[in-house]
Amino acid sequence: MITYRKLSADGAGKLIVAYLREHQLAPETDVRTEPDAARDVEAGDRLNNYYTGKDGRGAWGPNIPARIADALGIDVTRPPTDEELARLFECRRASDGEKWDGKHANRTISAIDFTASPDKSVTLAAEFAATKAEQALIWHIIQRANDQAMHFIADEIGQARRGKGGLGDLQKGEVAWVSFRHYTARPAMHIQDGAGGATASVEIPVPGDPQAHIHNPVFNAVAAEDGHLGSLDSARITRVTSHLFGAYFQAVLAELLRESGIRVRPDERGKAIVIEDIPRSVCEAFSKRSKQAEKQAKAFVARQGGNWNTMSADQKFKVLHQANLAYRSKKYNGTNDREIWREEAEALGWRHATVLTDEPLSVLDDAERYERAYQIAARLLEEEFRTAAVLDRDVFRLHAAHGLIETGIKSVEDVRIVAEIIAERGITVDGTPTMFIEQARDGRMRVTTQAQLAVEKEMGELAGFAARNPEGALSAEAIAKAVRESGLDFTRDADHGRTQLAAIYALGQAGGLGFLVGVAGAGKTAALSPLVAAWKEDGRQVVGTALAWRQADALKDAGADRTVALSPLLREIEAGRLTLARGSVLVVDEVSQIAPGQLLRLLRFQKEMGFSMRLLGDREQAQAIEAGDSVEILLRVLPREARPEILTTIRQKTERARQIAGMFRSDGRDLTLNEQEQRDKDTARARQAIDMKRADGTFAVIGGDHAQVVADTADFYLRRRDMLVASGSMRGITMSAPTNEDVMALSVAVRERLRARGEIGTEEIVRAGIDQRGEVYDLPLSVGDRVRLFSQTRCKTGTGRQTRWRELGSNGDFVDVRGWSDEGVFLRNLKGREGLVPWDSLADPDTGRTKLGFGHAMTIDAAQGITSDEHINAMPRGTMSVSGFTTYVAESRHAHIAWTRVAEAPVREAITFGRPLGDKTPVTYEDILNRVASDMGKHDYKDLAIDLAGATLRHEQDTTRWIRQNHEIEAAKQDGRAPGAAARSHVATRGLREIGATQWDDISRTLRKSAYALQNQAEAAVRVVRDFPSQSELKMGKSRAPARAPRVQHDNDLGL
């Protein structure tokens, strides 16, 4: 593993040196070149200390090039002094203290510290080696692997960015670093300075855990060939490349250990190398120092009759020192860690001799190495693409390095070769070979698979087709009848009622597919109820599903005939045990949690069987675990009339509560903003909501360590529960937390308090428990206990001939213990159904342990869909594991009050670690609130393969056309024109447009001939009128011979 942290350039050089040297004095002589004046013969102890890491006072990186050494004033012929290092960590030359060149560059960072750590087994093999020589050998191997990894890192980030703001070209250059070897991990605890005081993470005065690691600060300077001194290309340090650096270190370490005759193997994840001869149980025993120290100190205080939570920080430090001095015969003085470790090893019964063997090294040829490494990398890539549609292309190199951990590595070139094999051959996803699609995006190469692209395109095509298929639509009359008979009141909140009613009609009149977008508490289930009634009256079967059983079962409230969680539903359909006939309706709730691949399977079944689908969900709530974003695809391909929206809520009973909950919901991605601007906007909304909650007294930052925060939250939960029970609350209070570990800790704490209050029976049995993740624990059961189910569970009710098997609950449901027998346990669900659940039906098939968990708290994902009078959004480990999606869920479960309780110490620690080491700026309460808002307002939408590939979905243009038409209608109204006039004219002249060009030519010639004839006739008529004699001429002509008058045509054949 290699981690990294930036070092501040802001005048804290001496503090950084003290930290890296662990407060040791600088060496007076170079043990490699200067003899010990007190000895005639060098015994080798000092040199051994240098290579075993006991002399961790710093050494220049190997082979520092001359150009960068001159630029930084480094003398590589002797070890660095404290003063030289302090200068370098303030961006000053080591030799004379002058500022580094390139003064136009604003260097606030002096270095980036890359810390390499081997597996615990490697550390223990070195620390407990029987001979100094073996100890020196293993430390030398660690150092060599570290140095090779650092050269790799130097090549990656040793590029100076030119131009203003570093936006110009990259120029390769030279870099330098210094290494500090440490052999222990100093334990730290969250210490609160008295009740209500500040909390901080601090090192505690107890022996540390054995953990070899090497700090490698790379100075933030790159010496280019043309003399330019630039800064490191820190943009190359990403989540992927930081893991790549660690994987390469592990691969080189594995190769060097094998060459030395040490048996090694990859760990369970295949991402680190472990020494086989060091037991894993021993590794675990030497990895729990902080927890042991905390436990011993608190027990010490309890024996003395004190209260740990109310003690000051100084008092706690004294107790920690005293308690941990007393628990071993070897008294800890700050330097004798190794003596205490050996005493602990004896207590474990572990005696170690050597890890060196005489076994010959088995070497694979290059072709076999590359092939096996490719197979390992392809498997790891398949796992990554299950949860992400788009990845950085550097994952090829990352997993190539992981593969080479097992197969062996010769140089960094091997990583490139295996990565190219991956790119050329592709991988297998669900048994089907697929190739990659690569595209530059945001300055980095990104990659997806053709398989994922095909899934998204097919899902979009089938969804768009189903939405345009009129089959399955209800008539307006049938919907109106069902609404009248439903008894629902749409007038209590007139605006919301109109929106809800419009959504009912739109969803009912949709054809093969309709999608209702509804915010939390919008009344989606209520809107569904009259539609279910109308479908049933029409003779249709209605089946409900969702990702989780709890969410699927909630559709029974809307009248669904049957509810099944998504995974078993798909299995039943595939096996032919469930058939959805043409005309049936499948209702899918919380569709944001369902990935495109899962939804595609449903759409394929729909195409085959002809049933209709109705989807319910909200993109701004919890997202799918698997790759892709189904809701985004649906929004692109569904016509507007098939996806109604309800964006107001009726769950919260006050306007202010609705406003606060709504502020935790994102408005969606604003394409006019860049990524940082979008993040700032979402953070500002979350911070405004937090400030409103602070004003209302519903937001609290809780001080103390994890156990104190859990205890405080449990006490608060019971106080609120008691008040709600006394007031006659029907829906009570619920509590959620981000992780399963937090859920268990909170539930156990609540149980302990209920037991102390006598609300849980005194008789108790203890079962061996296991959860859905495979975590094992002791599960005490007493009458009155509340436990969590992990699967769909049935119970036996009644006696004798009246015995029946009934559904009790599903995964995530809470049930109460009413008793037990040798046959099973009596459980009662929250609706009052009670029965016997056999132990066998609760047994885990692999371990036989009882698959029940502690009740009272639930994960945020499990809480999605529930409603309670009050809800506690508990975050006893801070806000690192939450997002804007999960926060919105947790902050919208309540009808009356949502309580937000955040642990202070983890947030403060995250802020401190996010700053450069040496940054002396104090962490303020405002900083804590801003960090909480940043985490709670973070909306990282899942990427789509179609976007990376630049593909357009088949029905996406229809949606775009609809948006354009709406724009034109709105613009026409604003201009005072009648919307649709052009369209109506277009329809009216359709017959004329259907006449062919030849016919138009014939008509044109005929009309021209008629026009010419008409013109001739008109001209003749004019001449006749002109030549006709006047009245006087007629009178004069009576005496003459009568003249023959010209004939004038009076018929209408010419239209005159």
Give the model confidence (pLDDT) of 787-797 as tens digits. Answer: 999 988 999 99
Looking at residue 415, its pLDDT comes to 96
The domain limits of the chain are 2-348, 366-434, 457-650, 675-936, 1001-1025+1044-1056
State the pLDDT at residue 73. Answer: 94
pLDDT single digits (tens) 675-690: 888 899 999 999 999 9
Outline where 493-595 has alpha helix (H): 494-509, 524-537, 549-553, 566-575
- What is the distance between the alpha carbons of residues 136 and 53, in angstroms, rounded to a whole number? 9
pLDDT of amino acid 189: 65
Q: What is the pLDDT of residues 759-816, one digit of tens each?
A: 998 899 999 999 888 888 899 999 999 999 998 899 999 877 778 999 998 888 899 9
Residue 219 region by backbone torsions, left for phi larger than 0, else alpha for psi between -120 and 50, else beta: beta
> Which one, of 797, 793, 810, lies nearest residue 556 by Cα?
810
Read off the tokens for 435: 């190739």
* Number of residues that this document lists for the chain: 1056
CATH number of the domain located at residue range(s) 457-650 in this protein: 3.40.50.300
Q: What is the pLDDT of residues 300-317, one digit of tens each?
A: 566 556 677 777 766 666
**pLDDT of res. 112:** 94
- The 10 Å CB-count burial string (b at 16+, else e) for 532-557 is bbbbbeeebbbbbbbbbbbbbbbbee
Residue 758 has what DSSP assignment?
T
Strands 222-224 and 229-230: antiparallel
CA angle, residues 118, 124, 129, in degrees to nearest 5: 125
Query: DSSP string spanning 464-491?
Result: HHHHH--TTPPPHHHHHHHHHHH---SS
**Tokens at residue 814, please?**
């809470």
The residues of the chain scoring below 70 in pLDDT are: 23-56, 103-106, 162-168, 187-191, 193-196, 198-207, 288-306, 313-335, 956-971, 973, 978-987, 1028-1056
3-class DSSP assignment, residue 606:
helix
pLDDT digits 0-9 by tens, 393-421: 999 999 999 999 999 999 999 999 999 99
Closest CA to 204 of 286, 289, 120: 289
pLDDT confidence of residue 1004: 79
Count of Cβ atoms closer than 10 Å to residue 621 Cβ: 25
CA distance 734 to 161: 53
Give the start-end residues of each E strand in 386-431: 391-392, 427-429
Nearest CA among 144, 203, 177 for reference residue 22: 203
Residue with tokens 């024996």: 303
Residue 777 is inside which H or E element, if any? Answer: strand 776-781
- Distance, in Å, from the CA atom of 536 to the CA atom of 555, rounded to the nearest integer, reads 15
Please tell me the pTM assigned to this model.
0.82
Torsion sign over Cα 186, 189, 190, 193? negative
Do residues 562 and 609 touch, judged by C-beta distance below 8 A?
Answer: no
How far CA 683 is from CA of 555, 664, 680, 901, in Å, comes to: 34, 9, 5, 18
For residue 386, give the nearest of 566, 630, 626, 628 by alpha carbon: 626
Query: What DSSP character marks residue 782?
Result: -
d(CA 10, CA 497): 60
Side chain identity at residue 83, one-letter code: E
Asked whether 834 and 842 are in contact (CB, 8 A), the reply is: no
Nearest residue to 633 via CA among 452, 440, 511: 452
- What's the distance, Cα to Cα, between the start and end of the chain in Å? 102
546 and 789 Cβ atoms separated by less than 8 Å? no
Q: What are phi and psi of 878, to 5 degrees?
A: 85, -165
Output the six-digit token pair for 622.
């919890």
pLDDT, residue 1040, reads 46
Q: Are 936 and 443 in contact, with CB atoms under 8 Å apart?
A: no
Measured distance CA(745)–CA(359) in Å, rounded: 47
Task: Of 578, 587, 539, give the one whose Cα is nearest residue 560.
Answer: 587
- Find out whether 192 and 72 touch, Cβ atoms under 8 Å: no
